[in-house]
Amino acid sequence: MKEKNSDRTLSIGTYLGYGIGSVGTGIFSTVPGLLLLSFMVRYLQIPAVLAGTVILIPRLWDVITDPFAGTLSDRTSSRWGARRPWMLAGSLTLPIVFALLFRVPTQTGVSAAWYLLLIYILCTTFYTIYQVPYVSMPAEMTESYNERTTIMSFRIAFLTLGILVGGALAPELIAAGGGGREGYAVMGIIVGLILFAVMIGSFFGTAKVPVVESVASTVPFREQMRAAGENKPFFILFAAYIIQVLGIGAMLAGVDFYSSYILGDVGLTSILFVCLIGPALVTMPLWVKVGRRFGKLIGYIICTVLFTVGGFLLMFSSPDNLIFVYLVVFIMGAGYAGTQLFPFSMLPDTITADTLKTGLRRAGVYTGVWTAADKAGFAVGPAIFAAILAFTGFMETEGGVIIDQPASALLGVRIGFSLLPAVLMALSLFFLRRYKLDPETVAALGAAEVEKK
């Protein structure tokens, strides 16, 4: 992850201090997405459609709260800057309610669903307080087009670590805690402590990040949202990414079902997850080089194609060819790494283009819109997967018991886990082909702004 001295304006310590916060965002975006649907359907006797709704509503709440959180952080003025006070607030609140999310009282069915709905809304709200300002920071940390990729490579590397901790460690913690409801409760407490450590660590680790002045804009919120919609590069990138998130969300929600009912071994959940997420740690330097050599867009398209092909191949998997399954998921994992690195390193470029055109600093607004849709996508994806299960006749259970499911339900698991993500990834390429923003374009916008002045 080395780069030319002319491109670097921040220290390695700052890269690391910023990046470690993504361990927390990776954990929170993964554990509920991976385990909450299965926890409700297989352990709490909550019907699949109701369980999907419990996941969906709090994420749709984010569609409202995220843009407002971005606007508030844009306008915050403090000795810690505009973003870090909100990061501190999220660090102190999210870990507590996360632990409560998996410590469900004795209820099952509808009453348990109501409890989880309330707690999950609190979780997503406190996560918003932290995440939106956090993701806004790279657009203000440097003006270098290439350094943003470096910043994001650190962020995605730590994000990968967080996803691995959430996806691979959480199921093991459940087993170590005795399994069942008590095992989930133990996992929630331990993961909550990890969340606190990394989130507060990023607050202190970003102490030397450049402080920018708060926005004194009185432009109505609706006008700012309209401006975001008129930023064509942002809108195209946004559309492609959100379509992909729907597929990834569905796939994550289906890992436990796929392992248990298609591969016949619930213990394979952690292995599949490591195969999907682990390659990011290995391939991240490669994707950074690809982005520098051929451009971020080309790298993004390559990674999207890898994920798409892998998804189609998984439709033909079986317990008799596990090596084939692991290999395909590994290839998808390599592609997944790029589908995280490139859009998040391209997002600051679209924000810079807006700043150069308008003279306004609206990183929080754009990031709020982005993260709101990001979270909604990760909620709608599992909801779609749950709807597929319900439509194909999947039967809910209690205590994690694996029962014989109808052939239609097994086909539904395959479709939701592999075919749906592949189709959505392929659809996103339609938008990526229309993205036009590179270093030369950003430089031209800057030159035009200088001439105006």
The parent domain of residue 237 ranges over: 12-210+220-452
Q: Which residue has the higher pLDDT, 230 or 283?
A: 283
Overall average pLDDT of the 442-446 stretch: 57
pLDDT at 30: 80
Pick the most confident of 78-82, 198-202, 338-342, 349-353. 198-202
Using alpha carbons, select from 246, 233, 251 the residue that is nearest to residue 343: 233
Sequence-distant (≥ 6) Cβ neighbours of residue 200 within 8 angstroms: 88, 91, 92
Go through 275-302 and write b for each residue having 16 or more CB atoms within 10 A of its CB, e for each that does not.
Answer: bbbbbbeebbeebbebbbeeebbebbbb
- Angle, CA of 193, 196 and 198, to the nearest 5°: 110
On the 0-12 / 13-18 / 19+ scale of CB atoms within 10 A, 213 is: exposed
Could you tell me if residue 27 is inside a domain? yes
Using alpha carbons, select from 292, 255, 364 the residue that is nearest to residue 36: 255
What CATH code is carried by the domain that includes residue 440?
Answer: 1.20.1250.20
CB of 391 within 8 A of CB of 196? no
Does the pLDDT value for residue 397 go beyond 70? no
* Of 221-230, 277-286, 372-381, minimum mean pLDDT range: 221-230
4: confidence class by pLDDT, cuts 50, 70, 90: very low
Using alpha carbons, select from 169, 401, 159 the residue that is nearest to residue 270: 169
Could you tell me if residue 252 is inside a domain? yes
Dist. CA 62–CA 69, nearest whole Å: 10
CB of 363 within 8 A of CB of 214? no
Could you tell me if residue 86 is inside a domain? yes
Does the pLDDT value for residue 368 go beyond 90? no
Pick the most confident of 79-83, 180-184, 438-442. 180-184
Overall average pLDDT of the 353-371 stretch: 72
Could you tell me if residue 7 is inside a domain? no
Q: How many domains in the chain?
A: 1
Does the pLDDT value for residue 355 go beyond 80? no
Read off the tokens for 363. 């990183």
Report the chain's mean pLDDT, rounded to a whole number.
82
Does the pLDDT value for residue 187 go beyond 90? yes
Could you tell me if residue 310 is inside a domain? yes
Pick the most confident of 111-115, 354-358, 364-368. 111-115
Does the pLDDT value for residue 1 go beyond 50? no
pLDDT at 215: 52
Read off the tokens for 168. 């691979």
pTM of the model: 0.70
pLDDT in tens, 200-215: 999 998 888 776 555 5
Could you tell me if residue 47 is inside a domain? yes
74: confidence class by pLDDT, cuts 50, 70, 90: confident
pLDDT at 370: 79
Does the pLDDT value for residue 400 go beyond 60? no
- Angle, CA of 31, 37 and 42, to the nearest 5°: 120
pLDDT at 361: 66
Dist. CA 283–CA 231, nearest whole Å: 31
Overall average pLDDT of the 13-39 stretch: 86
User: How many CB atoms sit inside 10 A of residue 358's CB?
Assistant: 13
Pick the most confident of 42-51, 88-97, 158-167, 243-252. 88-97
CB of 70 within 8 A of CB of 364? yes
Does the pLDDT value for residue 118 go beyond 90? yes
pLDDT at 207: 83
Does the pLDDT value for residue 227 go beyond 70? no
On the 0-12 / 13-18 / 19+ scale of CB atoms within 10 A, 190 is: middle
Does the pLDDT value for residue 127 go beyond 60? yes
pLDDT at 194: 94
Long-range own/partner contacts, residues 319-324 (CB < 8 A, 24 or more apart): 319/262, 319/263, 319/264, 319/265, 322/263, 322/268
Could you tell me if residue 3 is inside a domain? no
Could you tell me if residue 4 is inside a domain? no
pLDDT at 120: 94
Angle between helices 363-391 and 232-257 (to 10 degrees): 40
pLDDT at 3: 43
Using alpha carbons, select from 262, 261, 54, 252 the residue that is nearest to residue 171: 252
* Of 70-74, 271-275, 363-367, 439-443, minimum mean pLDDT range: 439-443
363: confidence class by pLDDT, cuts 50, 70, 90: low
